[in-house]
Amino acid sequence: MGITKTSIFSNKQNDLAIIFKVLGHPARIAILEYISNQHSCICNDIVEEIGLAQATISQHLKELKKINLIQGEIDGKKLCYCINVDQWNNIKTQLDYFFQNTKQNCC
């Protein structure tokens, strides 16, 4: 597969593609659902809830952090994660705009 020519697309299109790519894994969706229903949580709690290995969860958390959808704080020896509400709302706005402004024509 060749390299994607991202330069020929708008910043909005590239940004949205990155968001879809990060959200395109069911484990990340499960992690977001779990975190969003907690006041805060610790990575081991996520491992127990989702049922994947610690290293796998850490990789998924890293991807979610790349788009600033989650944030973490060190609490002693533990790392607590929560939803970054500002970015959550920003992504929601971008998705709403995309879906509202994409025509739904059928052949």
Please report which confidence band the pLDDT of residue 76 belongs to, taking 50, 70 and 90 as the band edges.
low
Distance, CA of 95 to CA of 92 (rounded, Å): 5
The pLDDT assigned to 67 comes to: 95
Alpha helices in the chain (DSSP H): 11-23, 26-36, 43-50, 54-66, 85-100
Which whole number is the average pLDDT over 30-36? 93
Inter-residue long-range contacts of 15-21, CB under 8 Å, 24+ positions, other chains counted: 15/94, 16/94, 16/95, 16/98, 18/67, 19/67, 19/91, 19/94, 19/95
